[in-house]
Structure 1
């Protein structure tokens, strides 16, 4: 993105206060329905899953109940697999990839793992196609003590409620997208909100994964990349050997310090952790292909984790 204009809210170089946040919120509009797209599928899944309501968004609790799907045959001796989607509500295939996995593929793991699936962590963001919540807070930087995002706080409370799961989670896979609007809207908005200059970047064309800098599992990440490559193309490194400014450590894999950044994928001590990044704006992608890529990532991740749980 070149020749960009200042973001239309706030004063360049000055962080937003409450008036700017209210102005930003007033610009957001409902563009799709959480009830129609997500809750109807969850209702259908009650036949085969234990459905847990683990909270409601405080600004509109009637409209935004929060649900997770728990294996009906939960056994305390089995490892736990956590699948999360829609932490950034606008990242559509994360939500529908989690639901597709739950509906069509999860039965294959009965008796092998306990599954916990939170398919739409940020339902207001889903409806408004937004990265932030109503307070202009990023839920995916808010998986921290005394979280400023109710979406993140509720999911962390769920993990504490279901069981003392932190040391029993074998795998956590968090389903995301990188979109063209990251560069055209969301990163400029972030710079404006924080009173910082916007520095343009590039959006990679293809799928990639984010590993944990502090506890990397490169072979695991590569196994997931190999599986997804059978469905869609993998993002190449740029001329500097990077994807979104981070060094590529293996084809299609970069690293972030998950816990210190407050990212969802760092909320447990799982041995295997990853964040998927689908690119839905590619001319080589379709909405269905993006969902299939997310499902391929989940199934490959579980397969690898089960095969290497004691390694």
Structure 2
């Protein structure tokens, strides 16, 4: 598929016909209810489960759930963990659920935890980056966004707590399908030429260029290094086209780009990126890397 995409006319942005053709190609490949909702329900004995919205893409309808500390205390700092903003990024969803099940209890008396394990359930089921409107939710965390109800629902959940968050960590993956499917689709959708890139082999972090917190980012990298390998810089000193500012760390302007990690105004914010297609990592390692990143992020934030 390099350089082309089977929908649309090169150089012309998609209209309604192309969007319908793209949506018709999407097939349900796994179950949000079985994989995610059932796991959240099992956590209900230990945490408060909150339904914070519902996504309607008829005939499909998806409840959105967050898990929060049962013993919520107004005097404690708040920590937000998000995952599944891109539905195909599996280790983020599994890592968030694994963190809740195995590690969250040790932070019970130190932070208020709020975890949204799967922000984009339609995309999760279809192993897709975009929502049903061919919109990337991780470019739509902006006020009055109408095309990404997934993003708008999460922003409504978070808004009453803005200013109280110490940390927000958003769990993602970079995969080979970014280069073979999702970036070619993006170029076709927008009527632009596809420019091939290079997928980094290993874990890395994306920090906020407006608030980089490199000591924090490096602490997370060092913790994850004990679980899986860290992506090296390419020959130009970059990862996915951005300069490496510390080992395994690049920076994006979170709020300018409408990224999920920019919604809280927290002191510490980061996006994780694991590489599940690496011959040097297993799916289990990728899940564990996400858990290690969350724990290291909370530990560092609390130590300051």
Q: Distance in 1 between matches of 2:99 and 2:58?
A: 28
1:56–1:62 CA contact under 8 A, matched in 2: no
Which of 168, 177, 180 is 2:176 aligned to?
180
Q: Distance in 2 between matches of 1:294 and 1:63?
A: 28
Q: Which deviates more, 22-31 or 62-71?
A: 62-71
Give the equivalent residue in structure 2 for 1:155: 154
1:10–1:20 CA contact under 8 A, matched in 2: yes
Structure 1 residue 195, shift from structure 2 partner: 0.5
Q: Distance in 2 between matches of 1:86 and 1:288?
A: 17
Give the equivalent residue in structure 2 for 1:193: 189
Q: Distance in 1 between matches of 2:44 and 2:167?
A: 24
Q: Does 1:272 align with 2:268?
A: yes
TM-score scaled to structure 1, two decimals? 0.96
Q: Distance in 1 between matches of 2:51 and 2:113?
A: 16
Change (3 A) 1:259 1:275: same
Structure 1 residue 153, shift from structure 2 partner: 0.3
Q: Distance in 2 between matches of 1:292 and 1:269?
A: 27
Give the equivalent residue in structure 2 for 1:300: 296
Q: Distance in 2 between matches of 1:125 and 1:24?
A: 13
Give the equivalent residue in structure 1 for 2:51: 53
The count of corresponding residues between Structure 1 and Structure 2 is 303
For the aligned residue pairs, the C-alpha RMSD in angstroms reads: 1.0
Q: Distance in 1 between matches of 2:50 and 2:152?
A: 16
Q: Distance in 1 between matches of 2:67 and 2:152?
A: 18
Q: Does 1:206 align with 2:198?
A: no
Change (3 A) 1:298 1:240: same
Q: Distance in 2 between matches of 1:210 and 1:4?
A: 26
TM-score scaled to structure 2, two decimals? 0.98
Unmatched 5+ stretches in structure 1: none
Moved over 6 A (4+): none
Give the alignment of 1:243-258 within 5 angstroms.
Answer: 243-258=239-254
Q: Distance in 1 between matches of 2:259 and 2:158?
A: 15
Note the alpha carbon deviations across 1:64-104, whole angstroms, 9 max, x for none.
Answer: 11000010000011100000000000000000000000111
Which of 31, 34, 40 is 2:32 aligned to?
34
2:82–2:118 CA contact under 8 A, matched in 1: yes
Give the equivalent residue in structure 1 for 2:133: 135
Structure 1 residue 63, shift from structure 2 partner: 3.8
1:89–1:122 CA contact under 8 A, matched in 2: yes
Unmatched 5+ stretches in structure 2: none
Q: Distance in 1 between matches of 2:250 and 2:158?
A: 27
Structure 1 residue 215, shift from structure 2 partner: 1.0
Structure 1 residue 60, shift from structure 2 partner: 4.3
Structure 1 residue 156, shift from structure 2 partner: 0.5
Which of 118, 138, 142 is 2:116 aligned to?
118
Give the equivalent residue in structure 2 for 1:223: 219
Give the equivalent residue in structure 2 for 1:242: 238
